[in-house]
Structure 1
């Protein structure tokens, strides 16, 4: 059986990858191209999801990694891992919209959890998700994450995170034990 997983290469992102990573992240969440996948935020937010400075900041930050996933020499997915003491923060997760729904995301998050556990010895993964993204939260719940009910405000007025199309956006903390 020839699966996408058999051709994947995981590596840390480099500064030379920034433009390709920004394009991937934007395509997974914003604009018409994001509608090819199921993770789109196009009905919630307009504008950018990230920018070159934000991606480079993750790459260059101590205790942070931008795990990059290649297939056939092309970046097809990525995620941020940040060491925060006893836990790791998982963010900036993107899978190419045309590859969503085929199991690639499950493979990437499992590898991210494994690397965080083995590299840093963390016992928990944490992330924040826009609380109205019920389908996305359900996907994470099927991967073992649980809702905490703890929320933080969406950064309204800071266009680096997008231009909200509704006024009820908040981030909810999800957690998963890594044991």
Structure 2
């Protein structure tokens, strides 16, 4: 896959177009992220968090913060002009952070997520010359963690508390939520 020489230049891999999000994409991105993780629509895919968290996954300000943050990119993935996935890439010293990953629920399990993750790893590696990709996953999401492990990520045992009481990240339905750092070497 060709990585764009300019961060905002869209590029294609097969039928997919990757480009940096703009403020005009905010509402569509919030809707995509919410549909992949919260509420009944998320239950048609396998990445739902609806059984462990209620409320929102993100909001317009959270998406805009990622779009506008220096050293951060929110990649929009389109197929035939339709938004099908997104992910955040953030430059953090010698690593990139991967987050805000969402795939349209009806396309989950089709290989699209695997394609987007691989493209994000290449883009981060070539854009910032980083050696590792980092992400955090809620530890009770064993199936999701196993999916990332099959793609070369390893659990580190480094845990971070869930932001209980901050409804911007959802309303927990259980008291044992925490995040674990997963890491993958790039290159």
Q: Which TM-score tier does this pair reach, normalised by the shorter chain?
A: over 0.9
Tell me, which stretches of 5 or more residues in structure 1 are unaligned? none
In structure 2, distance between residues paired with 1:7 and 1:18: 23
Measured after TM superposition, the shift of residue 9 of structure 1 is: 0.3
What residue is the counterpart of 1:120 in the other structure? 128
Measured after TM superposition, the shift of residue 6 of structure 1 is: 2.8
SS of residue matched to 1:126: strand
Structure 1 runs, 4 residues or longer, greater than 4 Å off: none
Residue 156 (structure 2) pairs with residue 148 (structure 1)? yes
TM-score normalised to the size of structure 2? 0.93
Measured after TM superposition, the shift of residue 76 of structure 1 is: 0.6
Measured after TM superposition, the shift of residue 7 of structure 1 is: 1.4
What residue is the counterpart of 1:41 in the other structure? 49
What residue is the counterpart of 1:97 in the other structure? 105
What residue is the counterpart of 1:107 in the other structure? 115
Measured after TM superposition, the shift of residue 21 of structure 1 is: 0.2
Tell me, which stretches of 5 or more residues in structure 2 are unaligned? 1-12
| Correspondence for 1:71 among 49, 55, 79 | 79
In structure 1, distance between residues paired with 2:83 and 2:140: 29
Residue 66 (structure 2) pairs with residue 58 (structure 1)? yes
SS of residue matched to 2:43: helix
1 or 2, which has the higher helix percentage? 1
Measured after TM superposition, the shift of residue 103 of structure 1 is: 0.1
Measured after TM superposition, the shift of residue 151 of structure 1 is: 0.4
| Correspondence for 1:29 among 17, 32, 37 | 37
Deviations 1:94-142 (Å, cap 9, x if unpaired)? 0000000000000000000000000000000000000000000000000
TM-score normalised to the size of structure 1? 0.97
Measured after TM superposition, the shift of residue 72 of structure 1 is: 1.1
SS of residue matched to 2:118: helix
SS of residue matched to 1:28: helix
SS of residue matched to 1:113: helix
Measured after TM superposition, the shift of residue 91 of structure 1 is: 0.3
